Structure 1
Amino acid sequence: MLRALLLITAGLVMNAQAVAQVKNPGTVVKAISEEWTTLDPAQCYDLNCGEVLHNLFDTLVGYNGSNPQIVPLLAREVPTRANGGISADGRTYTFKLRPNLRFTDGTPVTARDVEYSLRRMLVVAAATGPAQLLSEPLLGTPDLPDAKENPDIYAVIERAIRATDPHTVTIRLAQPFAPFLTILTNPYFSVYSRSAAIRAGAWSGTARDWAQHNHEESGPFQRKQPLGSGPYKLAVYDPPHSLVMVHNVGYWRGPARIRRVAIQVVPEDSTRMLMMRAGDVDIIDLPPALLSQLEGVPGVVVTRNLPAVSLNGLFLNQKVTGHPEQLGSGKLDGQGIPANFFSDVHVRRGFAYSIDRKTIVKEILAGQGIARQSLAISGLASEQPGVGYGYDPKKAEQEFRRVFGGQLWQKGFVLPVYATNDPVRNSILQLLKRNVEALNPKFRVEVQQLTTQDYFARRSKGELTAWVGNWTLDYYDPHNLFEPWTGPDGTYATAQHYSNPQIDRLLHQAIVETVPAKRQALYRQVQGLQARDAFGIPLYQVVDSGIRREWLGGRNFNLATVGDSFYEMNK
C-alpha cells in the first residue's frame, strides 16, 4: 500500500485540488518511480541516489548550471597546465581548496577530508559501486583494488592521493588521462568529513584496517549520510519511501532559494500523474508513452526530446558458448547457425543494412529518440562523414549473398535473438525479424524473451547470439562510450568477442591526448573502423523528458550532470 501522500513539507498540508496560486512557496516536491539505493558515495551508483548526493555534497569541480563547462566548486580553481595545477607530464593534478569552507555542522573542510573521501572510494571498492571510474586513471586498471589478491595496493592508493598541506591535495595518475577532471565532477566523488565518518564506524583512514573495509557491502551510511558541505542537508530519511532535505544556511555560495526539498517514491505512473495534475508535486518522471496525457494540462510544462548521454545498439556475438541447443543444428544447413555465425563480416553488414531506424524512432519510440548510425552522440564526438549503415534491403541482400561463399543464401538459417520483457527492445527485434525474413524465405529469426537476471547472466557467459543493449555514460567524455563499445576490455566489445588492435591503439592515444581537436580526430578514426567491422551497430540515442509545474523556475537540463540541482531552482 502506498505511503500516505502527505509529503513532509514546511508544515503545510497539500490540497488535493489544483489551484492557481503557487503551492508551498520555498518547497520543491518531486515524485520518482524508483527508490535510491544508498547515500554512501562509495556505494551509490545509480541516478536516483546520485541526484541526492549532488545536492547534499560538493565535489572539487563541477558544472555551471546547464553549461557543460567545468568550473571550480570546493577547489579554488580548475587545474590547468597554465596555472600550474597540472604537471608538464599530465600525470599530477594539484587542487587548492577555497578558504573558509565548512561542513554543515560548522567544522572546516580540509585537504585531509578530500584525501579520505577519494581514498575511501578505492578502499571500499564496492563491486556495484563507481570505484572503477577512479581506479582506471589512478591505478592504471579498471580492476578494483583487492586486499587478498594484492595487499600492497593500498600503498599505491596512498601515493596517488595525498593532502600535502591543510588546503592542498595532489593526485597522481598512472598515466595521462584526458577525462580525469570530468570524472571528478561526478557526485559519486563527493567530499565528506573524515572525522565524522570514522566516528560513525567507517574506515579509519589508515592501512591498519583497510583490508577489513575492502569490498564491504554495507557500511555505516545505509540509513544515514556522511557529513557533507553541499547546498542541502538531510532532515528526514525514510528509505525506501521518502526523504527531505533542507537548505544549508552556511553554504559557501549562499543559501539556496528553495529552502526544503521533499522526494517521494511513488511507483505507479497514474498516481504521479494525478499528483502533478493537482499541483501536489512540482516535478515527476514519466515514461515517454504517457507524456501526451499531461501535455496541455493547465499549469503543467512538458519538455520533450532532451538528448541523454546514452546509446542503444544491436550487438552480435561472434563466438557463442554454452547451450548448444540454442544454435539448432549448430551448422550452416538451414536448421540452425554455427557458433561463429557472426564472425563473417558480411553477416554483420547484412543485419546492419536491415535495421530501419526511421521506423524505430517514429513508431516504436513515438519520436522519443535520435537515430544514430555511428558512435557520435550529441555533444560528445563529431561524426565521421559517411560512416554507418542506413536501411537498405538491396545492400543487405548483397551482403548476405556473400556469406560463406554464398552458402548462407542457398541454405538459410534459424537464428535466436534475445530480449527481456522491455517492450521497446522486443519491438526492435521483431522489426529486425520482419526485415531480415523478407529478404529470403529461408531466413528465420526467432525472438526469445528472457528474465532480466537470466539475460545478464547469459550475456556475461557469452551465450547470447544477438541482442539490443544500451550504454549510459558514467561521465561526460567520449572515452566512456568508445572504450566500452570497442575497447579491449570494453563491456560490449568483450561480450561480442570483438577486438581490433588498430582501435586499441587509437583509444590509447585519445585517452592521453589533451588537445580536444586531436582527440576528436582520433575518435572519428575509431568510428570509421567500428563501422567497417559492423560490431555493436548503433541504433538510436536516448532522449529524456521533463515534467514540472509552471511555477517552478531554474530547472536546468545538463547532459553532463546527474539528476536535478535544486540549488539553481526558484518557485
Structure 2
Amino acid sequence: MKTRRVTAAVASVLALSLGAAACGGGGGNNSSGGGNAKKDAALTSIVNASSKKGGTVNLEESDVPDSLDPGNTYYGFVQNFSRLYARTLTTFKPAAGKAGLTVVPDLADSLGKASADAKTWTYHLRSGLKYQDGTPITSKDVKYAIERSNFAPEALSNGPTYFKQYLVGGDKYQGPYKDKSATGLKSIETPDDQTIVFKLNQPFADFDYLATFSQTAPVPQAKDDGAKYVQHIVSSGPYQFQSYEEGASAVLVRNKNWDPKTDPIRKAYPDKISVKFKVNAVTVDNDLLADKITADLAGTGVQPQTQPKVLTGKNAKSTDNSYAGALQYLALNVNVKPFDNVNCRKAVQYAVNKQSVLDAVGGSPKGDVASTLLPPNVNGYTKFDTYPTAGNKGDVAKAKAALKACGQPNGFSTTMTARSDRPAEVAAATAVQNSLKAVGIKVDIKQFPSGKYFSNFAGVPSYVHDHKLGILSMAWGSDWPTGYGFLEQIVDGGAIKPSGGTNLMELNDPAINKALATAIANTDAAARTKAWGDIDKMVMDNASVVPLFYRKNLLYRPASATNVTVTQAYLGMYDYLLLSSSK
C-alpha cells in the first residue's frame, strides 16, 4: 500500500467518488452511535469530533502484520498505524475527505527541494527532533533507515525497493549490514545533521510521495539489530512501545520526549493504543458491534457473515462504505506449468465467473466487477475489457477453446493460494474453484497466514515453484494513485525478489518493463497518464492477471470511537493518526 501520490486530476476523481457515496453528517459533536451521524459520514467529515485527551484506542487484527518495523512492512494498515510511533520525511495530512490526500512535511520542515531535472532532492529536518530516549534525531538516521530497509533483503525483505531502484549506485550497494564503511550509500548525502540530499539515476517528480513511506522513519544505527529491531523499536512519534509480544499483542503509550512544537500534524489525544493479533475475523466484527474495540486494524471492512447485521437497522448509520483504490485479482504464475502457456492463462480468464466471486464476498458493498488492473480512481485508468463474458459470469465455450489451443483440451490440475485468516478471500477462492471446475480445470486451494503470505509463501518464487502454486490470490492498492504507483511493484520484472515479492505472476516482459521506465521519466503529465492505460492493456494481453473486483470496504464505527474519518491515502481505512476513543 501504501502511500499514494495525488495529482489534481486524481484528487478530483476521488472527491467525486467520495461525494457520491456520502450522505452528509459529521463534524462537531456528531456521534457514530446516534445524533446527526449518518451512513458514510466519515467519508467526507470527522465523525464524533473531540479534542478531549485520554482514553484507550483498542484495535484487533485477524492475523499478524508482516512487521511493525517501519522499514520492513508493505501492508497498508501498518503504513497507516506506524505514523503513531514513526515519523517520516513527509506524510499525508490527517484530515477528512480529499484534504487527507495532501502530502505535508513531517520530519522535514518543508516539502523537498528539487533540482531543475528532478534528479536531486533536498530536505531539511525540523529543529528539536528527539527519540523517546531524548537523543537528537539526525539526517544520518534517516539515511541509515533507508539503507537498511531497501538494501538488506537478508534481514528485511517485506517492503518496496524504490530507493534502491532510483538512487545512483543502488544496484551495487550491499546494505549497511554488509558494508561497514562510514560513508554508506554515496548517493544519499548528509552534509550536516539537519540536511539530507538524494541523488537519483533518472528524473522522478513524485519523490515527495516516496518520502511518505515508513522507510524514511529514522532508525539509530546503534540500536538496530536487523529483523530483531521490531522487538525494541525506538520511537520518533508521540507514542512508544510499552510492550510487544510477537504474534500476540502490542501496547503503545505516550512518548514523553515527543514535542508537539516540532509536530504540527499530530494531536495525540489517546493515552494508550492497545492491539491484539490473531483474533478470529468474525470475532473482530462482533467486538466492534459490542463496542469492545475501536476499530479493526486491518481496515478492510466487516466479513460477509457480519454484513447483514450492519446494513440494516440502527447499525446502518454507523457504517462507511469506502472505495479502497484497490483491486482483488488472481495472479497466474508464468513460471508454473501450464501457465507458461498464454492460452492456458486465457482459459482461466474466460472461465472465471466474476459475479459469483463478488457475490461470495458480500456483493456490491464489497466492490464492483473488474476488467482492468487500474481501479477507476487511479490516474491512468482506461475502461476496457479484453476478455468479456455475458454478465461477467464466464464463457465456457471460449474457455474450452483456449484450453484446446494450449494443448489441454480436457483441462488440467493446479493449486491456488488464499489467506487463511481472511474468510472473504477464501470464499472468493472457492467461487473461482467452482468456476474452473466447469471447464475441467481442477483447483486445490491451499491456505496460508496473511502475516507470512509474502515473506514465506506466495512472495517466494522458490516456494511457489517447488509447490506448483499456479494461481495466487492477491489484493493490491497503489503506493500512490497514479498508474506507476499502482503497477510498478506488481508487473515490473525488477520487483521480483527472493522473498517478500509482490509481482506474484513473476511477470518479466521486456516491453512492459521498458514502457514503465520510459513513462515515469516523461515530464509530460498527459503522456504519462496515457502510458499507464496502455501498459494496463499490455498486461491484460499477457493474460497473467485476472482482475476480479475493484474493492470497497464496509467499515463499522462503534459509539465510543471519536475523531473517525476515512483516509483515501491509506486504502480507504480509518485514519489511525486521528482516531481516538471516549473510553
TM-score, normalised on structure 2? 0.72
Partners in 1 of 2:173 and 2:567 — Cα distance? Answer: 30
- C-alpha deviation, 1:407, in angstroms: 6.9
1:68 aligns with 2:72: no
Q: What does residue range 95-494 of structure 1 map to in structure 2 within 5 Å?
A: 95-104=123-132, 107-122=135-150, 124-125=152-153, 126-130=155-159, 132-138=161-167, 145=174, 157-192=184-219, 194=220, 198=222, 200=223, 202=224, 216-218=226-228, 221-228=229-236, 230-237=237-244, 240-246=248-254, 250-251=259-260, 252-253=262-263, 256=267, 258-265=269-276, 267-269=279-281, 272-273=284-285, 275-284=287-296, 287-289=302-304, 290-294=306-310, 302-320=318-336, 339-340=337-338, 343-345=341-343, 347-367=344-364, 368-392=366-390, 397-398=397-398, 400-401=400-401, 411-420=409-418, 422=420, 424-425=424-425, 427-428=427-428, 430-432=430-432, 434-435=434-435, 438=438, 443-452=439-448, 460-461=464-465, 464=468, 466-473=470-477, 475-477=479-481, 478-491=483-496
Higher relative contact order (CA 8 A, sep 6+): 2
Change (3 A) 1:394 1:542: closer
1:546 aligns with 2:555: yes
Return the letter of the residue paired with 1:162. Answer: E
- C-alpha deviation, 1:374, in angstroms: 0.6
Partners in 1 of 2:176 and 2:218 — Cα distance? Answer: 24
Q: What does residue range 30-41 of structure 1 map to in structure 2 within 5 Å?
A: 30-33=58-61, 34-35=63-64, 39-41=68-70
Structure 2: tracts of 5 or more residues without a match: 1-32, 36-47, 449-455
Q: Secondary structure at the match of 1:217?
A: helix
Structure 1: tracts of 5 or more residues without a match: 1-17, 80-84, 203-212, 321-338
| Cα deviation code 1:368-420 (max 9, x no counterpart) | 13321111114323322334323248966256436666976xx5333334244
Is the 8 Å Cα contact of residues 91 and 211 (structure 2) preserved in structure 1? yes
Partners in 2 of 1:564 and 1:247 — Cα distance? Answer: 23
Is the 8 Å Cα contact of residues 152 and 175 (structure 2) preserved in structure 1? no
Greater C-alpha radius of gyration: 1
1:93 match: 121
Is the 8 Å Cα contact of residues 420 and 449 (structure 1) preserved in structure 2? yes
Partners in 1 of 2:579 and 2:543 — Cα distance? Answer: 44
Partners in 2 of 1:164 and 1:287 — Cα distance? Answer: 49
Change (3 A) 1:58 1:451: closer
Is the 8 Å Cα contact of residues 89 and 212 (structure 2) preserved in structure 1? yes
Partners in 2 of 1:223 and 1:405 — Cα distance? Answer: 53
Partners in 2 of 1:495 and 1:244 — Cα distance? Answer: 34
Return 293-302 or 58-67, whichever deviates more: 293-302
Is the 8 Å Cα contact of residues 50 and 188 (structure 1) preserved in structure 2? no
Change (3 A) 1:161 1:297: farther
1:77 aligns with 2:83: no
Change (3 A) 1:105 1:515: farther
Partners in 1 of 2:407 and 2:558 — Cα distance? Answer: 61
Change (3 A) 1:432 1:19: closer
Return the letter of the residue paired with 1:527. Answer: D
Partners in 2 of 1:277 and 1:550 — Cα distance? Answer: 9
- C-alpha deviation, 1:173, in angstroms: 1.8
2:82 match: 53
Change (3 A) 1:416 1:166: closer
